[in-house]
Chain A
């Protein structure tokens, strides 16, 4: 089942002479449980694609479906609530709230839903799983980069989203921590049946993903399929028509 679909997406920034075409006729489907890497050079449109997928930005043309819902058709409020419940974000610079401790940072998105109780057992499980339970009362400023990114991942998973969007989650990390974080993402993808769309510059990391989406000059140039899953993905997923 496709969790994410881009249909003839165009994204143009600016007007008249200053127009920049960031994405051009993007058609892309991502299946449930898939761990896809988006790679490309700087300015190729990777982050734009991710922002559109997360409903943070709107396409100039085309349609985007997340879990079968056309997100453009949603009102601003509906989109926000939809995003809160179905999409998680992990940013390169962690983007934690410096004034909240680890535990509260993770619980934060859950509290946006009024009347919804925080599942403390689940948060504890997440924190233990990510190896930061002992740090739960620490503030972000007191943690290392790797620890902060774990907190960011835990926060992204707190609402049990169907789709996890990660924008260069290892961009600020050393190689050892990078491996750890990617491992955690994979593990969470497996454990919670989540779909992960990850932007990365790092080819090596991309190679460890289920699928590689290569973007150049705003267009999907090629798709790379990882070893044994390639046949499965070529048949049921990938850059097909929507």
Chain B
């Protein structure tokens, strides 16, 4: 059998090459994309490790725990394997002006949390400290190592500068101290253990075992979510339970299943791999099937000579396997090689950290280069420059799974092919392509039809399966291309909008006030000064104050969400919680109240969900714009309110107010209360305070906004000065000079922080460009593979009837006439594929894409459609491809000898 299979391969060189090429191409696609997705995930893990620290869980250290760990080492039979652990002891805390922790840490901590000493040395004595630049800047320290810093009324000597954290918030200031440090003894002391388990095993299982061993109650461990989300940090719900919940609970739906499977089982990766494997199988089987049907007669002869059907099937499978075993590794090498070489350039494609969107906003801003006022570039380096790169990783999993699935699937395909030959008797099969046609009893010539066209059309559509295969292949390529274009167009819109809103990267420069004091603002004079800086094209100044929106209890459908958000103790202490029960059947929800200028209101129109945004109407009717809440499935709602409805909110009357006023627990007289009509509801704000009055604790704080004009802010809330200034340089301006002038303009504004987002915007745009190119590239590759299949199928469809076409030529059809009749059939195929594409795209794919983009990847607005030119191009391309595919074999027939064609 092996010899026979080998001989067949040698004899039918072109068929062998077609099958081999289909295997190589599909394997390259499958393994390349698989590896790219895998690499991106690995890179996300490594980046997260760098950003959030190389640890998985943090637990409070109990007496004897460290000793037990030291005794047993990091290996354990109890179901966990500790690779590393670090110790940190909280020696004390300060709460004003910022929350500052005094920490004594070991070397492992410095290593695992990237907090090494970059300058100077470790603090040793009781009055020595070390800190990062970010903390020092915020504490107003302007000296260097060896200088003295006063904290809580006590002087400390700075002995070292610690490497800054990647993500820094105002509530995360840490001062490193020596063992001798004397805490305040106010009960804040505690010992923490940072654990890093073996990442080869499920982390949550190891944590459970660890907790059991040391009798730590469930929920007492703090997870490093940024990292553990990729490594199985939490026990996932079973698929059964996910589906059951979706079907039985009123909150469950299809989107829930998708999102849950995505977050807990990495659905996108496996779905993509499965689709690619299926696509590969379809193409290889199709090409193989055509090759086999050409030698049907020979297999029938073999069977006549006494070879069993099983042996024929075995020959086929062996032939397929030999080609597969040779082609698959070559394809993997090709795919991984090409994508490996271009990976550095493509790394932003799948990296979630490069994508816009609410969830990733924090990570993006974490990575920006910040120039702190007065200490340029000291607080942070450019994260992108130093981000840990895992490089291109070959996904052996996808490759092996693809190999195993395809290996057995192709064997099944081989036997199915033999089974399909049973439809013919051996005599029929030996006689070649036996055709017993019985169609409609219509006499075409009486209707003036061109009979040559009728003949060709009937031949081409004789095998409905093959014809459908060709039309589908044509359509698949077109559909993929259209869907890709649709997604890329909307991705562009989304990325731009997301850049402006979620990432706050609408402008290259941003000046804001880092303070929890309402009196700290950017005066009008400073804003005017920035407006006068040459080289700036746009300067948008916004006002801000925190407020509280009052809503009836039955309007709030997100109680669970707010319950969860209200758990942040510091936020509770500072502002009394995010959503507070006011006791009169109403809730008070903390909101950012913003004043925008004309330019920003204009830009806000892109985010409109309901109503209208007209500055004149806002001012005239004293109306307000509300930002809707978005649920986890991309649905928007503003407590059931719509334009025309009224919303009640209040803001502190005095800027220099006592803390309880900021908690909105003061007297009624302490607040300005307004009830304004909603003019419009939008999906996102533009200018925003990243943290709620500089206090991190509400992940959605930047979204909860009410917006009016700057004039209304003064009129309604008494806010005259600004809190945020966004500016962009003119095209070609000297950005270094412009940013220096901006820094100078706000130098004397207390607590003003200047941020230069130019590099971050550039990076984001590069990522977007990569994504566009990549997705378009993949669509083109799929198109090429489809094309390969189309050419092969059409070639066979036409060449299989070369005898009949020979007879027609003998009867006197000219070469041009013959070419024309074949061409029309090709065009007909193209038109049918166009109709199919149009129907599939508009009836199904677009809806699926809309659903996917709105609810799964949660694009902000789907305002972009496929450009008419692209649509027309795909339609024309289909016809051209189909026409070209038929003309190649037609030309071969026309060039052939008639006598030989008809077997004369």
> Is A85 in contact with chain B by the CB < 8 A criterion?
yes
Contact call A81/B451, Cβ cutoff below 8 A: no
Which of B436, B812, B814, B904 makes the CB contact (< 8 A) with A167?
Answer: B904
Which one of B437, B813, B815 lies within 8 Å of A99 (CB-CB)?
B437
Chain B: number of interface residues, binned into ranges: 35 or more
- A137: Cβ under 8 A from any B Cβ: yes
> At the interface with chain B, which of A89-97, A201-209, A218-226, A231-239?
A89-97
A108, A120, A159: the one within 8 Å of B446 (CB): A120
Which single member of A87, A99, A101, A159 contacts B459 (CB below 8 Å)? A99
Complex formed: what's the CA distance from A120 to B439 in Å? 22
A: interface residue count bin? 35 or more
Tell yes or no: B438 within 8 A of A by CB. Answer: yes
Which residues A26-58 have CB closer than 8 A to chain B?
47, 51, 54, 56-57
Complex: A36 Cα to B210 Cα, angstroms: 104
- Type the 1/0 row for B809-821, where 1 means its CB is closer than 8 Å to any CB of A: 1111111110000
Contact B810 A56 (CB under 8 A): yes
Please pick, from A77, A98, A103, the residue contacting B815 in the complex, using a CB distance under 8 A: A77
Q: Considering the complex, give the chain B residue whose CB is closest to the CB of A155.
A: B811
A109 touches B811 (CB 8 A): yes
| CB nearest to A114 among chain B residues | B817
Q: Mark A62-86, 1 if CB is under 8 A from B, else 0.
A: 0000000000000011001101110
Judging by beta carbons under 8 Å apart, are B444 and A104 in contact? yes
Q: Is B811 within 8 A of A112, CB to CB?
A: yes
In the complex, chain B residues whose CB is within 8 Å of the CB of A54: 810
User: Known: A111-B452, A112-B452, A112-B812. Contact between A101 and B458, CB under 8 A?
Assistant: no
Residues in A with CB closer than 8 Å to B446 are 103, 118, 120
Choose among B450, B452, B811, B897 the residue that contacts A89 (Cβ–Cβ < 8 A): B811
User: Taking CB as reference atom, which chain A residue is nearest B433?
Assistant: A98
* B82 surroundings in chain A (CB, below 8 A): none
Partner of B437, one of A91, A109, A141: A141
Task: With both chains docked as a complex, state the minimum distance between the C-beta of B221 and any C-beta of chain A, in angstroms.
Answer: 74
Is A107 located at the chain interface by the 8 A CB criterion? Answer: yes
B816 near A77 with CB under 8 A, answer yes
CA distance A91 to B439 in the complex (A): 24
Given contacts A51-B904, A57-B899, A77-B815, contact A104 B810 (CB under 8 A): no
Cβ of A142 < 8 Å from any Cβ of B? Answer: yes
Contact of A111 among B439, B445, B898, B899 (CB under 8 A): B445
CB distance from B463 to the nearest CB of A (A): 12
Minimum CB–CB distance for A74 against chain B, Å: 12
B167 to chain A, nearest CB (A): 71
Chain B CB within 8 A of A184 CB: no
CB A115 to nearest CB in B, in angstroms, measures 11
Instruction: Determine how close the nearest CB of chain B comes to the CB of A100; give it in whole angstroms.
Output: 6
A95-B807, A100-B455 in contact; A84/B443 too (CB < 8 A)?
no
Identify B814's interface contact among A81, A97, A139, CB under 8 A. Answer: A81
Secondary structure at the B interface, as helix, strand, loop or mixed, is helix
Q: Say if the beta carbon of A24 comes within 8 Å of chain B.
A: no
Q: Known contacts A77-B816, A108-B451, A112-B813: does B443 contact A98 (CB below 8 Å)?
A: no
A108/B452 in contact, CB under 8 A:
yes
**B435 touching A98 by the CB < 8 A rule?**
yes
- A123–B804 Cα distance when bound, in Å, is 22
Q: What CA separation (Å) do A123 and B451 show in the bound complex?
A: 15
Is A136 close to B, CB under 8 A? Answer: yes
A76's partner among B439, B815, B899, B904 (CB-CB below 8 A) is B815
Contact flag A103-B445 (CB < 8 Å), given A95-B902, A111-B452: yes
In the bound complex, CA of A137 to CA of B439 (Å): 10
Shortest Cβ distance from residue B278 to the other chain A in the assembled complex, whole angstroms: 34
CB distance from B125 to the nearest CB of A (A): 100
**B454 is an interface residue with CB less than 8 A from chain A:** yes
Contacts of B897 in A (CB 8 A): 57
**Which residues of the partner chain A approach B437 to less than 8 Å between Cβ atoms?**
98-99, 139-141
Name the residue of chain A whose CB is nearest to the CB of B898: A56
Residues 562-600 of B at the A interface (beta carbon under 8 Å): none
Bound together, the chains give a CA A44 to CA B815 distance in angstroms of 31
- B441 interface residue, CB < 8 Å from A? yes
Complex CA gap A118/B458 in Å reads 21
* Assembled-state Cα–Cα distance A98/B434 (Å): 10
Q: Measured between alpha carbons, how far is A76 from B435 in the docked complex, in Å? A: 31
For the A-B complex, the count of residue pairs with Cβ-Cβ distances under 8 Å equals 112
Binary contact readout B441-468 vs A (1 if CB under 8 angstroms, 0 otherwise):
1111110001110110011001000000
Residues of chain A contacted by B810 (CB below 8 angstroms): 54, 56, 83, 89
State whether A47 and B450 are in contact (beta carbons under 8 Å apart), knowing that A80-B812, A112-B812, A137-B441 are contacts in the complex.
Answer: no
Within 8 A of A (CB), among B745-804: 803-804
CA distance A95 to B805 in the complex (A): 10
Contact of A107 among B442, B451, B807 (CB under 8 A): B451
Complexed CA–CA distance, A137 and B445 (Å): 12
A101 to B442, CA, bound (A): 8
Residues in chain B near residue A77, CB distance under 8 A: 814-816
Chain B residues with Cβ under 8 A from A47's Cβ?
904
Which of A56, A99, A139 sits near B904, CB closer than 8 Å? A56
Give the residues in chain B near A56, CB-CB below 8 Å: 810, 898-899, 904
A99 to B461, alpha carbons, bound, how many Å? 11
Q: Give the docked Cα–Cα distance between A107 and B443 (Å).
A: 10
Q: How many angstroms from the CA of A118 to the CA of B443 in the assembled complex?
A: 12
Residue of B nearest to A103 (CB): B443
**Complex contacts, A51 vs chain B, CB 8 Å:** 899, 904
Q: Closest residue of chain B to A78, judged by CB?
A: B814
**In the complex, what residues of A have CB within 8 A of residue B438's CB?**
139, 141-142
Q: Would A141 and B435 count as touching, CB distance under 8 A?
A: yes
A30 CA to B498 CA in the complex, in Å? Answer: 88
Chain A residues contacting B436 (CB-CB under 8 Å) are: 98, 141
Alpha-carbon gap, A95 to B808, bound state (A): 9
B454: chain A residues within 8 A (beta carbon) = 99-100, 104
* B812 CB contact (under 8 Å) in A85, A101, A118, A139: A85
| A112 CA / B454 CA spacing, docked (Å) | 12
Q: Which A residue's beta carbon lies closest to that of B443?
A: A103
What are the residues of chain A within 8 A of B904 when measuring CB–CB?
47, 51, 56, 91, 167
B-side contacts of A99, CB under 8 Å: 435, 437, 439, 454-455, 458-459, 462
Closest B residue to A93 by beta carbon equals B903
Q: Which of B435, B807, B816 has the most C-beta atoms of chain A within 10 angstroms of its own C-beta? A: B807
Whose C-beta in chain B lies nearest to the C-beta of A99? B458
Tell me, rounded to whole Å, the shortest Cβ–Cβ distance linking A66 to chain B. Answer: 13
Chain A to chain B contacts (Cβ below 8 Å), 19 pairs? A57-B897, A89-B811, A97-B455, A98-B435, A98-B436, A101-B441, A103-B443, A103-B446, A104-B443, A104-B451, A108-B445, A108-B452, A111-B451, A112-B811, A118-B445, A123-B445, A137-B441, A137-B443, A155-B811
Chain A residues engaging chain B, CB cutoff 8 angstroms: 47, 51, 54, 56-57, 76-77, 80-81, 83-85, 87, 89, 91, 95, 97-101, 103-104, 107-112, 118, 120, 123, 136-137, 139-142, 155, 159, 167
- Besides A77-B815, A111-B451, 20 new A-B residue pairs in contact (Cβ under 8 A), listed by A number: A51-B899, A80-B812, A83-B812, A85-B812, A91-B807, A95-B804, A98-B804, A99-B439, A103-B443, A104-B443, A104-B444, A104-B445, A107-B451, A108-B445, A108-B455, A111-B450, A112-B452, A112-B811, A112-B814, A141-B436
